[in-house]
Amino acid sequence: MNEHLILALRATVGEQYVVIERNDLWVYRHDGSVDHAWPGAVVLPVTTEQVSKVVQLATAANVPVVARGAGTGLSGGAVANGTILLSLNRMRRILDVSAANRTALVEPGVVNIDISKAAHQYGLYYAPDPSSQKACTIGGNVAENAGGPHCLRYGMTNNHVLGMEVVLEDGSAVWLGGSHRDAPGYDLAGAFVGSEGMFGVATKILVRLLKEPEAVRTYLAIFNSMEQASSAVSGIIGGGIVPAALEMMDALAIRAVENTRPMGYPLDAEAVLLVEVDGLREEVDEDGVDVLRICREAGARDVRVAESEEERERLWAGRKGALGALGTIAPNYVLVDGVVPRTRIGEALRRVSEISKEYGLPIANVFHAGDGNLHPCIVFDERKPGETGRALAAGGAILKACVDLGGALSGEHGIGLEKQEYMPLLFNSDDLRTMGWLCAGFAPRGLFNPGKVFPRGAPAKPTNVRPITASKNGDAWI
C-alpha cells in the first residue's frame, strides 16, 4: 500500500493503530466464513472524526475501505483483499441509556449483549440476540441485519434501530433516521441496515429498548423424528401462539453439544425443539399449557420445563453453543443461511439429507424453526484435498433447494462473498441494476466493501447518481 497513505493514516489514528506487518495482519484475514484474503492495512480509529479522516484519505487515494467489527460474520462480508480494513473494535462506548425514551446510543464496537447489561438496571433490554451475541458487535449486526433466536417474535436488527450517524464516501458524517420509529421522510436508516458495509460506516447507532418481560418460560421437547418436531412447529404457530423463540436441533447437532458440554439431550433423539414464551404472567401460563399439549400431540417423548433462570440459561447454552461444538465432528464447517416457508421445513430437511449423502459430507441442522430460517452446517476438513470445494458446492445445492421451495438466500447472515454468485436465482438483471442504483446513491464510487453481494458480471452500477449529502440541520437527503 502507498507509503504516503500509510504515513497519513498513522498521523490520523496513531502509529500503533495502523497495522501493516504480515504477521500482525494474519488474524484479520478471516471472518467467520471460509473465505480469506490479506488486507493492505488495518486501521483502528476511536472517534467519528478519525473515521471521517481515514475515509477521506482512502477516497483521495482511490483505495477501498472495508469496515469490520468482531469478525464473527459468516458470509465473508468483512474479508478485505488488499484494501484498508477499518476495525471498529476501539469504538465501544455506550454513550447513553435513556429509560424515559427506552433507547440506547452506542458506538459500533459495542458487544451486542453489553447493551442489555447496561439497560438491565432500568428493567429494559435489547431484543436482537444472535448466537454470537457475547462476541458480535452492533456495527456488524447493523451491516448484516442480524437476527437471532428471538427474532420470531421481536424482529431483526432493522426493527430496533431508530437512527445512525454514518460516514459517507467523501468523509462527511450524516444522521439517518430519527429518535423514534415514525420519523418523517424516506427510511434511509432502514435502507442502510443490511447494506453489508457497502453504503458507509456507522459510527453511532441509536437502538430502541424493550421492557423486560414479566415472565419467561422455556421448554425443551424431545422427538424421535424430525417430522414430529416439524409438526409441533406448525401446530404451535397454527394455534395462534407466537413464541419468543422456536429453535430446533437435529441428531448430529445434539451429539456435538453432548460431546462438549453435556446438556442431558438423549443421544438417540432425532430432534429437540426449544420453545420459549414470554410476556405477562397470565399469557405465559396460557401459552405454556398449549405448547405442552401441541408438542405431546405431535409425538414428543418428553417435554422438559426450565424451573429456574439457571436451567433456562443452561438450555440456551446448548443451543447457542451448538456451532462451536461441531468442532468435535470436524475442524471446519460451512454454515448455510437459507430460508424456506415454514410449512416446507420438512421438505427442505429431506433435501438437505439427500445433499449430505450426495456430497459425502455430514450436515448438522441447527435453525430458527419458527420462521423457516435454516442453518445447515456442512462439516468438513479443509486439510483433505477436495473437501472444501465439495462443502461449498453442497452449500450451493442447499441454497438452490431453498429457492426452489419458495424461499430466499439469506435470513440474517448476508450475501457477502458466500452467496453472491447465487443472486441470479432470485433476481434478474433489472433487479440487480436497481440495487446498484441504491448503492450508488450512498457510495457513488463504490469504495465501500467492493466485490461483495453483486455477482461477478452483474450489470454495471450507474456513475451519475448524486450521492447523499449532509444538510444544515444534520439530516440527510439524496
Would 134 be classed as within a structural domain?
Answer: yes
List alpha helices for 148-267, DSSP H: 151-154, 188-192, 226-238, 251-260
Query: In this predicted structure, what is the pLDDT of residue 179?
Result: 86
Angle at CA 14, nearest 5°, toward 136 and 53?
75
Query: Count of domains in the chain?
Result: 3
Q: Running DSSP on this structure, what letter comes out for residue 371?
A: G
Domain of 401, in residue numbers: 330-423
| Residues paired with residue 380 on neighbouring β-strands, in sequence order | 332
Alpha-carbon distance of 292 to 262, in angstroms, equals: 24
Would 254 be classed as within a structural domain?
Answer: yes
Give how far Cα 270 sits from Cα of 125, 250, 333, 425, Å.
34, 6, 21, 32
Which of 423, 440, 461 is a domain's end point?
423
- Tens-place pLDDT, residues 103-137: 999 999 999 999 999 999 999 999 999 999 999 99
Contacts of 431 (CB under 8 A, 6+ apart): none
Alpha-carbon distance of 175 to 198, in angstroms, equals: 17
Q: Is 220 exposed, middle or buried (0-12, 13-18, 19+ CB in 10 A)?
A: buried
Alpha-carbon distance of 365 to 340, in angstroms, equals: 14
Query: In this predicted structure, what is the pLDDT of residue 184?
Result: 83
Alpha-carbon distance of 442 to 167, in angstroms, equals: 10
Residue 20: count of CB within 10 angstroms of its CB:
16
Query: In this predicted structure, what is the pLDDT of residue 477?
Result: 37
- Closest C-alpha among 248, 218, 210 to residue 309: 218
Residues 208 and 101 in one domain: yes
Which of 197, 212, 227 is a domain's end point?
212
Which of 324, 342, 358 is a domain's end point?
324
Backbone angles phi, psi at 376, to 5 degrees: -65, 130
Spans of the chain, pLDDT less than 70: 459-478
Would 42 be classed as within a structural domain?
Answer: no
Angle at CA 355, nearest 5°, toward 349 and 360?
130
Residue located via cell numbers 442489555: 116
Residues 207 and 113 in one domain: yes
Please answer whether residues 74 and 378 qualify as being in contact, where contact means their C-beta atoms are separated by less than 8 angstroms: no
Alpha-carbon distance of 332 to 64, in angstroms, equals: 30
Residues 252 and 282 in one domain: yes
Alpha-carbon distance of 48 to 54, in angstroms, equals: 10
Give how far Cα 395 sits from Cα of 296, 335, 356, 362, 380, Å.
34, 8, 10, 12, 12
What is the CATH number for 222?
3.30.70.3450
Would 10 be classed as within a structural domain?
Answer: no
Residues 157 and 173 in one domain: yes
Give how far Cα 412 sits from Cα of 141, 151, 158, 234, 341, Å.
9, 10, 11, 22, 15
What is the CATH number for 136?
3.30.465.10
Residues 352 and 246 in one domain: no
- Tens-place pLDDT, residues 245-286: 999 999 999 999 999 988 888 899 999 999 999 999 999 999
What is the CATH number for 365?
3.30.70.2740
Residues 166 and 245 in one domain: no
Residues 334 and 297 in one domain: no
